[in-house]
Amino acid sequence: MQQSPVVMTDSFSNLSLAEPLARAVAEMGYETMTPIQAQAIPVVLTGRDVMGAAQTGTGKTAAFSLPLLQRLLKHENSSTSPARHPVRALVLLPTRELADQVAQQVKLYAKYTNLRSAVVFGGMDMKPQTLELKRGVEVLVATPGRLLDHIEAKNAVLGQVEYVVLDEADRMLDIGFLPDLQRILSYLPKQRTTLLFSATFSPEIKRLANSYLKDPVTIEVARPNETASTVEQHFYSVTDDDKRRALKQIVRQRGITQAFVFVNSKLGCARLARSLEREGLKTTALHGDKSQDERLKALAAFKAGEVDLLVATDVAARGLDIKDVPAVFNFDVPFNAEDYVHRIGRTGRAGASGLAVTFVSGSDGRLVADLEKLLKKKVDLEAIEYEDDRPRGRINDGRRAWREAGELGDPRDALDAPRPREREREREARPSRPAAAPRDPFFDQPYQAPATEQPPAWEQGAKPAPSRVSANIKSKRKVPALFKAQ
Ligand code: AMP
């Protein structure tokens, strides 16, 4: 197996970074480089093109930002004239949240330089962005759709770009940004450095690289089926009705201060957040039905520590950089095995240790089998010993439903618990594109579900294939802890 993305290697002091950058890095508390940084920074400093396979959480933002800023510093100037601050580096990302995060990091790294940076993304007023662009910025972070709007309005001129970064390139292609990317790249000078980062090197990504990168150096630090070795992973066999109880018990027993809780549907997300909140846990929900403003507020509250549990769907949480979350709960086993890796990538980042807990219920056999295939490891299920050890099980009559839900939360939650067919309808993770798709407020483009995000056939009615895992679930035998730190 390849090296984990979080293993630290060389010290930043070996890099001879310019003083303003070294100062900023020291202030952020970085001492050693992550593997992607150790490999990419020296290459980018030489001006070569790079094709990097690295996920969010591996330190890739600093891996491209620091050498890029170092090179831009050669022609740094303190003039206030906009003409003296043309766009020299362009960073493209698929979502506004990601763009915002990367822009914030760039600002921190460039804090002690005269280089200016700005971010533009859709769903926000063009005017403030226009004013910033007109003032002149050397580093422009953007989502493709909104950048094209600014190019068309002649607010952004890209004729002097020396560096372009295509970050999360696989996601950009998934969303359908290829035509926009092609147009944007056609405005850039041919003589430039191009850096492409992607979680996978799919044939589409390779085609993109062949068209736009010149003799790139390939850097690979973590495969998408690898999970960080610092994450302690547990899979618990739990009935649907016991999940909230199990969650609360683990949070309490482990003394967990903050956690992400992933669910598969928007409705499930809202319902769970509501009921945890009622039970006195500081909780907020992040899902596709929330307005952009609500999402940013939820995120800010979580980052500020005002909220303990962030209950989220995969689509809403994709790519968010919230570091040092002590734990991730998979309240539902993800529909896509790769989402498991993305989800638990939010804990155990940049060297910190983390806990990932997955609740597996009786109908999840097929999903767990997919997960085992991706991780190339057997998933062993553990039983939970409840502190309050009365018999549990499916809610099968009105009185019991009322009583149990009363113990776990609001009785109304049990009464409006979704039946399987309703669950199917409320799933958010796999939206199908309507004929005339509105602009998705989360991305700045109509959402186009990638082929890989379609639900497997068995979810649409066919019976799940029998699996060894579901046999384990039935037997509820206690098995040794799963593949812990390796
Ligand atoms: P990224 O993969 O760029 O989203 O980075 C993930 C997180 O790791 C960010 O919050 C960074 O601030 C942090 N980080 C990046 N590089 C380092 C480093 N060398 N040491 C410690 N933390 C880092």
Q: What is the span of the domain harbouring residue 61?
A: 2-220
Please report the pLDDT score of residue 143 as a whole number.
Answer: 95
Please report the pLDDT score of residue 160 as a whole number.
Answer: 95
For residue range 37-73, what is the model confidence (pLDDT) as tens digits? 999 999 999 999 999 988 777 789 999 999 999 999 9
Say whether both 194 and 310 belong to one domain. no
How far is the centre of ligand 1, averaged over its atoms, from the C-alpha of 64 (Å)? 12
Say whether both 141 and 163 belong to one domain. yes
* Atom number in ligand 1 closest to CA 61: 3
How far is the centre of ligand 1, averaged over its atoms, from the C-alpha of 379 (Å)? 29
Say whether both 263 and 390 belong to one domain. yes
Q: Is the pLDDT of residue 419 over 60?
A: no
Separation between Cα atoms, residue 413 and residue 410, nearest integer Å: 6
Separation between Cα atoms, residue 369 and residue 167, nearest integer Å: 31
Closest to 156 measured CA to CA, from 178, 177, 176, 126: 126
Say whether both 256 and 197 belong to one domain. no
Please say whether the beta carbons of 371 and 337 come within 8 A: yes
Say whether both 147 and 248 belong to one domain. no
User: Would you say residue 97 lies in a domain?
Assistant: yes
For residue range 291-337, what is the model confidence (pLDDT) as tens digits? 767 777 888 888 888 889 999 988 777 656 565 688 999 999 998 88
Query: What does the buried/exposed string (b/e) look like for 435-462 if buried means 16 or more CB atoms within 10 Å of the residue's CB?
Result: eeeeebbbbbbebbbeeebeeeeeeeee
Separation between Cα atoms, residue 441 and residue 463, nearest integer Å: 36
User: Would you say residue 480 lies in a domain?
Assistant: no
Substitution site in 4, 321, 322, 325 for ligand 1 pocket (most atoms within 8 Å of beta carbon): 321
Substitution site in 28, 33, 64 for ligand 1 pocket (most atoms within 8 Å of beta carbon): 28
User: Would you say residue 84 lies in a domain?
Assistant: yes
How far is the centre of ligand 1, averaged over its atoms, from the C-alpha of 63 (Å)? 9
- Quote the pTM value: 0.56
* Atom number in ligand 1 closest to CA 105: 12
Separation between Cα atoms, residue 335 and residue 343, nearest integer Å: 12
Please report the pLDDT score of residue 322 as a whole number.
Answer: 67
How crowded is residue 294: how many other Cβ atoms within 10 Å of its Cβ?
14
How far is the centre of ligand 1, averaged over its atoms, from the C-alpha of 486 (Å)? 22
User: Would you say residue 454 lies in a domain?
Assistant: no
For residue range 91-146, what is the model confidence (pLDDT) as tens digits? 999 988 889 989 999 999 999 999 999 999 998 899 999 999 999 999 999 999 99
User: Would you say residue 482 lies in a domain?
Assistant: no
Question: Residue whose CA is closest, atom 11 of ligand 1?
Answer: 59
How far is the centre of ligand 1, averaged over its atoms, from the C-alpha of 7 (Å)? 12
For residue range 175-199, what is the model confidence (pLDDT) as tens digits? 889 999 999 999 999 999 999 999 8
How far is the centre of ligand 1, averaged over its atoms, from the C-alpha of 221 (Å)? 14
Separation between Cα atoms, residue 332 and residue 79, nearest integer Å: 54
Say whether both 297 and 198 belong to one domain. no
Residue at which a domain ends, from 188, 220, 252: 220
Question: Residue whose CA is closest, atom 14 of ligand 1?
Answer: 59
How far is the centre of ligand 1, averaged over its atoms, from the C-alpha of 57 (Å)? 6
User: Would you say residue 474 lies in a domain?
Assistant: no
User: Would you say residue 252 lies in a domain?
Assistant: yes
Substitution site in 8, 323, 325, 346 for ligand 1 pocket (most atoms within 8 Å of beta carbon): 323
How far is the centre of ligand 1, averaged over its atoms, from the C-alpha of 456 (Å)? 35
* Atom number in ligand 1 closest to CA 60: 3
Say whether both 269 and 330 belong to one domain. yes
Site residues for ligand 1, CB cut-off 6 Å = 30, 33-34, 37, 56-62, 321, 323, 349-350
Q: Is the pLDDT of residue 479 over 90?
A: no
Question: Residue whose CA is closest, atom 9 of ligand 1?
Answer: 59
Say whether both 257 and 119 belong to one domain. no
Q: Is the pLDDT of residue 482 over 50?
A: no
Question: Residue whose CA is closest, atom 13 of ligand 1?
Answer: 59
Separation between Cα atoms, residue 376 and residue 391, nearest integer Å: 35
How far is the centre of ligand 1, averaged over its atoms, from the C-alpha of 373 (Å)? 29
Question: Residue whose CA is closest, atom 1 of ligand 1?
Answer: 59
Determine what percent of the chain is predicted with pLDDT higher than 90. 44
How far is the centre of ligand 1, averaged over its atoms, from the C-alpha of 71 (Å)? 21
- Helices 144-152 + 126-135 axis angle, to 10: 70
Substitution site in 9, 13, 30, 230 for ligand 1 pocket (most atoms within 8 Å of beta carbon): 30
Question: Residue 479, exposed/middle/buried by CB under 10 A (0-12, 13-18, 19+)?
Answer: middle
Residue at which a domain ends, from 369, 388, 407: 407
* Atom number in ligand 1 closest to CA 8: 19
How far is the centre of ligand 1, averaged over its atoms, from the C-alpha of 230 (Å)? 15
Say whether both 299 and 207 belong to one domain. no
Per the structure, the count of domains in the chain is 2
Question: Residue whose CA is closest, atom 21 of ligand 1?
Answer: 30
Residue at which a domain ends, from 220, 239, 259: 220
How far is the centre of ligand 1, averaged over its atoms, from the C-alpha of 29 (Å)? 10
Say whether both 99 and 137 belong to one domain. yes
Please report the pLDDT score of residue 229 as a whole number.
Answer: 62
Q: What is the CATH number of the domain that holds 261?
A: 3.40.50.300
Query: Which of 9-18, 105-114, 223-232, 410-419 is the most confident on average?
Result: 105-114
Say whether both 150 and 286 belong to one domain. no
Say whether both 175 and 119 belong to one domain. yes
Q: Residue 139: beta bridge partners? A: 89, 117
* Atom number in ligand 1 closest to CA 28: 12
Stretch among 45-49, 140-144, 164-168, 416-420 having the lowest mean pLDDT? 416-420
User: Would you say residue 313 lies in a domain?
Assistant: yes
Mean pLDDT of 443-455: 32
For residue range 390-407, what is the model confidence (pLDDT) as tens digits? 544 433 333 333 333 333
